[in-house]
Amino acid sequence: MTEPTGAAETSGTGTTSDEAVTDDFQLPGVPDAFQRLWTPHRMAYIKGGQEQYDHPDSCPFCVAPGRSDEQSLIVHRGKLCYVILNLYPYNPGHALICPYRHVSYYTDLTEEETAEFSALTQTTIRVLQKVSRPGGFNIGMNQGKVGGAGISEHLHQHVVPRWGGDGNFLPIIAQTKAITQTLGEVRELLAEGWPADDDGDVAGAAHTAAAGDL
């Protein structure tokens, strides 16, 4: 449902996104406490079909560890899981926690993978708090295509930093999301802010070599 508005919303082409309305007409709907994060870019994954990611050779999350951190936007490599930036971020610092193994559901993880998956999520939040001081976070995962997962064949958890006013008018009016830093700059900041006593990168290097042999 749409929220009440006093004017027609327009798309980038200048046409209204709903039927033409007058300034004194309110669209039907009841206001609620939710803010909307509009994500039209996700349609590229939906239209592309999930079957293209069935095999590890074609799965972005399986291919990424076989390249350099800079090329794949990897922030940290753990022993069983790794942290990577979202190529299409909702906000600067939008990170994904992924297992190296090609599994679809959270229940597919082993006990060891689950422990590291959780620990990396916590560390990612702490690093973001230290580096960019967000006002809050959205944390979660979509399970399966019907559940809204962009790439449902490989489990990944979103960690999205939030600031007051980050859901402003640009995504709605101009179909634009203002990102103040390049992905490379954000990756470098988070990688440099990662705890120095975390030795996961040593084991993660083995995954780089193994993935490169695929």
Residue numbers annotated as active site = 156
**Max Cα–Cα distance, the chain, nearest Å:** 64
Q: Rounded distance, CA 177 to CA 96, Å?
A: 19
Please indicate if the annotation marks 138 as binding a ligand: no
Type of residue numbered 17: S
Nearest to 154 by CA among 165, 171, 141: 141
Please indicate if the annotation marks 76 as binding a ligand: no
Q: Rounded distance, CA 69 to CA 73, Å?
A: 5
- 1: exposed, middle or buried (Cβ count in 10 Å: 0-12, 13-18, 19+): exposed
| Distances 108 to 55, 103, 121, 130, 151 between C-alpha atoms, Å | 16, 6, 18, 32, 16
Residue in this structure with the two tokens 């979103």, named with its chain if needed:
158
Q: Rounded distance, CA 70 to CA 82, Å?
A: 14
Q: Rounded distance, CA 102 to CA 151, Å?
A: 11
Which residues sit in the known binding site for substrate?
86, 158
